[in-house]
């Protein structure tokens, strides 16, 4: 038994390094998409102290809107622009109708409001687009669907071009987001609001404007994630469940840390894939990817409640 746990998996990795690289690549692709979704959670929480339970359904709604518009005969790239417009309108409506009337309410009230947003978007999506599975317009968007075959260590490594595209686009989006947050006036305002809410408001930073902006950025992230996941698994309301894999990423990296969201996503993606292949399937019959990330995050929380990159909160009494 000890051999199966501590020796055999590493022996398998050493014996087939090309397969190990394949597993790590699959984990990297999943991890960077987890990190993207987690960034949406982090941005909204930093600026408003709201845990956005609706981030998962926003991924689904953005993907459904894109596919639905194309089904109406709209050219693919025009669909992208129109979907971004829909996500901006959604951000404005959420700020005006939901968040603004709840300013000053307890955090639990705001959290329950995001659950209401989730249920509303599920119902609206089903009414407009139906509940059946749909195919992402991958080729129409110019996303390649072929494979790149490499032969490392005399073995075989297959990289799907759509996965390569997803990794590149996600990395560029993260870099662009970091530049925006650190180099632009509005980005610094978002950071200031997250660092000290009252001080930021006292110097004239508009809470309403920032809320619309961060919800729109979360919508952009949702659209990119929806395209990437939709190209891999189709477009359906099941994507919402995949999106909630970002929750252990937040627990691991810290709810307010952008760096933690990125590193946590990559760690979760690769570690869950390694565990599934080398420990889960031989010892537990597989399907460990559904729970491994949550168990790992729980273990981290036991020793570091604020997450690996979260700031320790000290309250004086």
Residue count of the chain: 317
Residue ranges covered by each domain of the chain:
2-303
pLDDT digits (tens, 9 = 90+) for 287-317: 898 899 999 999 988 988 888 887 665 555 5
Rounded Cα gap, residues 38 and 31, in angstroms: 10
Q: How much is the pLDDT for 277?
A: 94
CATH class assigned to 2-303? mainly alpha
Residue 128: closest CA among 70, 65, 173, 86: 65
2: left (phi over 0), alpha (psi -120 to 50) or beta: alpha
Q: What angle do CA 240, 247, 41 make, to 5 degrees?
A: 80
Q: What is the pLDDT along the chain (317 residues), one digit of tens a residue?
A: 778 888 899 999 999 999 999 999 999 999 998 998 899 898 888 877 788 889 989 999 999 999 999 999 999 999 999 999 999 999 999 999 998 888 778 888 988 999 999 999 999 999 999 888 899 999 999 999 899 999 988 889 999 999 999 999 999 998 999 899 888 888 888 877 766 666 666 667 777 888 899 999 999 999 999 999 899 888 988 888 777 888 899 888 888 888 899 999 999 999 999 999 999 999 888 889 889 999 999 998 898 888 888 766 555 55
Q: Please tell me the pTM assigned to this model.
A: 0.90
pLDDT digits (tens, 9 = 90+) for 217-260: 999 999 999 999 899 888 988 888 777 888 899 888 888 888 89
Q: How much is the pLDDT for 308?
A: 83
Rounded Cα gap, residues 59 and 226, in angstroms: 5
* All residues at 6 or more sequence positions from 98 whose CB lies less than 8 Å from its CB, including other chains: 113, 116, 117
Helices (H) and strands (E) in the chain, counts: 14, 2
Please give, one letter per residue, the 3-state secondary structure of 50-113: CCCCCHHHHHHHHHHHHHHHHHCCCCHHHHHHHHHHHHHHHHHHHHHHHHHHHCCCCHHHHHHH
Residue 159 pairs in a beta bridge with: 148
């Amino acid at each position: 038994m000890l051999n199966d746990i501590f020796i055999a998996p590493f022996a398998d990795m050493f014996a087939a390094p090309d397969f190990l690289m394949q597993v790590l690549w699959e984990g990297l692709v999943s991890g960077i998409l987890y990190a993207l979704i987690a960034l949406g959670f982090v941005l909204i929480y930093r600026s408003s102290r709201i845990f956005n339970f609706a981030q998962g359904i926003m991924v689904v709604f953005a993907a459904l809107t894109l596919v639905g518009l194309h089904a109406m005969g709209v050219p693919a790239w025009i669909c992208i622009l129109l979907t971004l417009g829909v996500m901006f309108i959604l951000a404005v409506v959420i700020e005006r109708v939901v968040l603004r009337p709840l300013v000053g309410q307890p955090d639990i009230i705001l959290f329950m409001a995001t659950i209401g947003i989730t249920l509303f978007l599920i119902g609206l999506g089903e009414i407009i687009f139906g509940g059946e599975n749909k195919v992402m317009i991958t080729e129409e968007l110019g996303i390649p669907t072929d494979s790149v075959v490499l032969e490392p260590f005399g073995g075989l490594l297959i990289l799907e071009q759509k996965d390569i595209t997803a990794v590149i686009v996600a990395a560029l989006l993260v870099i662009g987001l970091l530049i925006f947050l650190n180099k632009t006036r509005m980005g610094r305002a978002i950071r200031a609001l997250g660092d000290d809410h009252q001080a930021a408001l006292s110097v004239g930073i508009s809470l309403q404007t920032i809320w619309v902006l961060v919800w729109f950025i979360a919508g952009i992230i949702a659209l990119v994630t929806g395209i990437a996941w939709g190209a891999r698994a189709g477009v359906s309301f099941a994507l919402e469940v995949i999106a909630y894999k970002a929750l252990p990423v937040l627990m691991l990296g810290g709810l307010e840390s952008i760096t933690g969201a990125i590193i946590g996503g990559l760690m979760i993606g690769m570690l869950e894939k390694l565990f599934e292949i080398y420990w889960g399937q031989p010892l537990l019959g597989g399907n460990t990817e559904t729970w491994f990330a949550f168990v790992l995050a729980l273990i981290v929380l036991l020793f570091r409640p604020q997450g690996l990159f979260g700031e320790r909160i000290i309250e004086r009494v």
